[in-house]
Amino acid sequence: MILSSGGPYSGLEGSPVTFTATARDPDDDPLTYTWTFADGAAAIGAQVTHTFRDDVPDGWNATLDVEDDHGHMASDFFTVAIANVAPVLAPLADVPPGGVQPECTARSERMYRQVGGFTDPGRTNGPSA
């Protein structure tokens, strides 16, 4: 039996990865494909999808086993490199019509004007200096 998992695979955490097996059995028996992933998940079928929740440094290990109806088995081992995904900020909600706008201007700007003179004891320009 000739078997290929099609790996290594790669994908993003939280996004489904599609796995496609290629197998050829000399006498064309019906084949059962079993995928086993290191995060504990398993799937059956020549083509399956699986979503890894998180990235790991060296990728997730996985195994594809193919069995014909006589119990003859072949296995292929491969890795799935999962990339970390940066968090995404949700866009700030627009203020609905009639809603309250955030207040970001100064509450008041007053001009002060001082009328009249002033005295400065330390200066020499005073009347008694």
* 29 contacts Ca ion (rule: CB under 5 A): yes
Instruction: Report the residue number, 55 or 76, with the smaller CB distance to Ca ion.
Output: 55
Residue 49 phi/psi, 5° resolution?
A: -125, 150
Among 7, 9, 68, 78, binds Ca ion (CB under 5 A): 68
Applying CB under 5 A, does 25 fall inside the site for Ca ion?
Answer: yes
Q: Which is nearer to Ca ion, 71 or 122 (CB)?
A: 71
Using rule CB under 5 A, residue 54 touches Ca ion? yes
Q: What is the 3 state secondary structure string of the chain?
A: CEEECCCCEEEECCCEEEEECEEECCCCCCEEEEEEECCCCEEECCEEEEECCCCCCCCEEEEEEEEECCCCEEEEEEEEEEECCCCCCCCCCCCCCCCCCCCCCCCCCCCCCCCCCCCCCCCCCCCCC
Count, residues near Ca ion per rule CB under 5 A: 8
Question: C-beta of 56: minimal distance to Ca ion in Å?
Answer: 9
Is 55 a residue that touches Ca ion (CB under 5 A)? yes
C-beta of 84: minimal distance to Ca ion in Å? 4
Please give the residue ranges that form the binding site for Ca ion (CB under 5 A): 13, 25, 27, 29, 54-55, 68, 84
